Amino acid sequence: MTQAKAFPEEDTIQWLVELIHQSGLDLNLLKKTWESEGKSIFGYASPTTAIHGPRWDHALIQKIVTPGSRVLDCGCGSGDLLVELIRDHHVLGQGIEIDPVEVQIAVQHGVPVLQADLDVGLDGFGDDIFDFVILERTLQTVHRPLDVLKEMLRVGKVVIASFPNFAHWRNRLQLFLEGRMPQTPSIPYDWYETPNIHHMTIRDFKESLQIINAQIVEGYARSGGLVHPCRDSDDLTAEEALFVLCRSTEYIDGAGI
């Protein structure tokens, strides 16, 4: 049996420093960020901050979805996004949610919601019945994410999907240095209670699209509180990402912002 090569501790630290330099991150800025946040060396926020903070993806989706369109929100929760879209863009909205408590809240908000499991499929809907099908921060929680995306692409002309990027540098450092499952503002759960069962990176997501015959129309990333068009370096620097998709055989005119 081949024995694993042992690296001196100073070699490991030097490798880590070089990796950060190559990524373009400022070590002094990182140090100031860690010290000012005061949580731990990684400065992750509490679940309350993560849950109740500004929804950058809501604001972006508001710019992408066209007025009067037909919208399906998969995993809609209490229907907050659909409430905004119906109020501001006069869309014909429909939600799907598995949690009966969330369904009840959404209905009280005046949002039409079906209680259903996304992993079972969207057989109740015909092909191309929706203009936009949305999946916010839910893809990593389903058992068959690619099947869910395929169904969304079947029933909708445009798919909008957002998710936390597990390859963000905070996650990498926390796992590397502390030996614990990462906790960050976008992934605030302890390992034993997380709903996330398929952690993915931006690179993973992009590479998997060819399997389901999908292509990216637009891509956006949130990094350090700023949102910008997605770039290659975002696999390391972005906390979350949002992609607008269509079937590879189609061209979507006017999608994006």
pLDDT of residue 55: 80
228 domain-assigned: yes
Count of structural domains within the chain: 1
59 domain-assigned: yes
28 domain-assigned: no
Token digits of residue 233: 């370096």
Nearest to 114 by CA among 95, 130, 133: 95
Decide: pTM greater than 0.75: yes
Nearest to 239 by CA among 217, 255, 224: 224
pLDDT of residue 177: 86
79 domain-assigned: yes
pLDDT of residue 2: 43
Q: How far is 218 from 172, CA to CA, in rounded Å?
A: 26
Q: Which domain holds residue 133?
A: 55-247
DSSP for the chain reads -PPPPP--HHHHHHHHHHHHHHHT--HHHHHHHHHHH-SSTT-PPPHHHHHHS--HHHHHHHHHSPTT-EEEEET-TTSHHHHHHHHHH--EEEEEES-HHHHHHHHHTT--EEE--GGG--TTS-TT-EEEEEEES-GGGSS-HHHHHHHHHHHEEEEEEEEE-TTSHHHHHIIIII-S----SSS-S-TTT----S---HHHHHHHGGGGTEEEEEEEEEETTEEEE--TTHHHH-SEEEEEEEETT---SS---
Per-residue pLDDT of the chain (257 residues; tens, 9 = 90+): 444 444 444 555 565 566 666 655 555 555 544 444 333 333 333 222 232 345 889 999 999 999 999 999 999 999 999 999 999 999 999 999 999 999 999 999 999 999 999 999 999 999 999 999 999 999 999 999 999 999 999 999 999 999 999 999 989 988 888 898 888 888 888 889 888 889 999 999 999 999 999 999 999 999 888 999 999 999 999 999 999 999 987 655 544 44
207 domain-assigned: yes
pLDDT of residue 245: 98
* Radius of gyration (C-alpha) of the chain in whole angstroms: 20
Question: Domain with 173 in it: what CATH number?
Answer: 3.40.50.150
pLDDT of residue 22: 61
44 domain-assigned: no
CA angle at 96 for the pair 51 and 53, rounded to the nearest 5°? 15
Q: How far is 244 from 256, CA to CA, in rounded Å?
A: 7
175 domain-assigned: yes
32 domain-assigned: no
pLDDT of residue 184: 84
pLDDT of residue 178: 87
